[in-house]
Structure 1
């Protein structure tokens, strides 16, 4: 990430902020969609960007922008998950992970299998494999030790493998 771009954003340059959003909107929206499903991803992504705008002036280490951004995204996703669990008479909805642009059957099966993995494990799979974050960054974002991230990844891989082999 270009630290100069972040400094320009912190100074209030609209063009820099536009560049920042353009560069990071898709990864953040994809994370929200994978965790919550497409119906709620847009609203949560807007909440994430509002939180980023509010917190950006307080970001001191611009080299840590990516984990900081995904920490904000995670908090917003967790809040959205909590609100859906608290609604009376409504079952928690597992996200539908379909992507109309993907035409490969293997990809569809993988996405469906990923949707069946519990949220904590799915989260580390997404952050580690799809967002290409390090174990340390995943631990920071999830506010857990690196060992916990490793065990969640291990469990998530086993669960995903089970879901994929059960449905040949």
Structure 2
């Protein structure tokens, strides 16, 4: 049984009132949710607060989840909304969505997980979140698109741009590709 199937079973059991299944589900996803939130925000204290708010929203909405097999993208969509709400309150209105077009012709450097995690702090939230979801949370392009509420092609172009920016910043720091 893969992770999605196991999660779907736990979701259905939790929807039927099984507190142990709900506890297992939260236990499995608490750390990934907190790590995502921590990487997107400025400090562990803020991540604790936003993660807690996100979990409250998840628990409130869980009975209405109609596709239990899609729990991971659904969960990260809710968590992302909590993070964005916090960032909007902190920084004001979001910037316009430009820069989604792909530059052609550059070869991407291959980065390992450690390098990606180390370099995330230098990126803007928009680039950081697509890298976190795709590389660190191991979501598929389609699941990232669901979480970010954008087309799969836009996810691909954001990944391309984010990898390029990350590579450039890491070369500035002395890492070689």
TM superposition score normalised by structure 1: 0.83
Q: In structure 1, what is the equivalent of residue 160 of structure 2?
A: 154
Residue 54 to residue 24, structure 1, CA distance change in 2 (3 Å):
same
Note if 1:10 corresponds to 2:15: yes
Q: Is the 8 A contact 1:35 1:123 kept in 2?
A: yes
What is the alpha-carbon distance in structure 2 between the residues aligned to residue 140 and residue 60 of structure 1? 15
Q: 1:20 aligns with which of 20, 25, 28?
A: 25
For 1:140-164, what per-residue CA distance to the aligned partner results, in whole angstroms no more than 9, with x for missing partners?
A: 1101111111111011001101111
What's the secondary structure of 1:4's corresponding residue? helix
User: What stretches of structure 2 of length at least 5 have no aligned partner?
Assistant: 93-112
Q: 1:70 aligns with which of 76, 98, 106?
A: 76
Q: 2:145 aligns with which of 139, 145, 149?
A: 139
Shift of 1:33: 0.5
The size of the alignment, in residue pairs, is 148
Shift of 1:110: 4.7
What is the alpha-carbon distance in structure 2 between the residues aligned to residue 56 and residue 13 of structure 1? 13
User: What stretches of structure 1 of length at least 5 have no aligned partner?
Assistant: 87-105
Moved more, 64-73 or 31-40: 31-40
Q: In structure 2, what is the equivalent of residue 100 of structure 1?
A: none
Q: Is the 8 A contact 1:110 1:164 kept in 2?
A: no
Shift of 1:114: 1.1
Q: In structure 2, what is the equivalent of residue 43 of structure 1?
A: 49
What is the alpha-carbon distance in structure 2 between the residues aligned to residue 126 and residue 8 of structure 1? 29
For 1:91-136, what per-residue CA distance to the aligned partner results, in whole angstroms no more than 9, with x for missing partners?
A: xxxxxxxxxxxxxxx94x6545211111111111000000000001
What's the secondary structure of 1:133's corresponding residue? coil
Q: Which runs of 4+ in 1 moved over 2 A?
A: 109-113
RMSD between superposed Cα atoms in Å: 1.5
Note if 1:84 corresponds to 2:90: yes
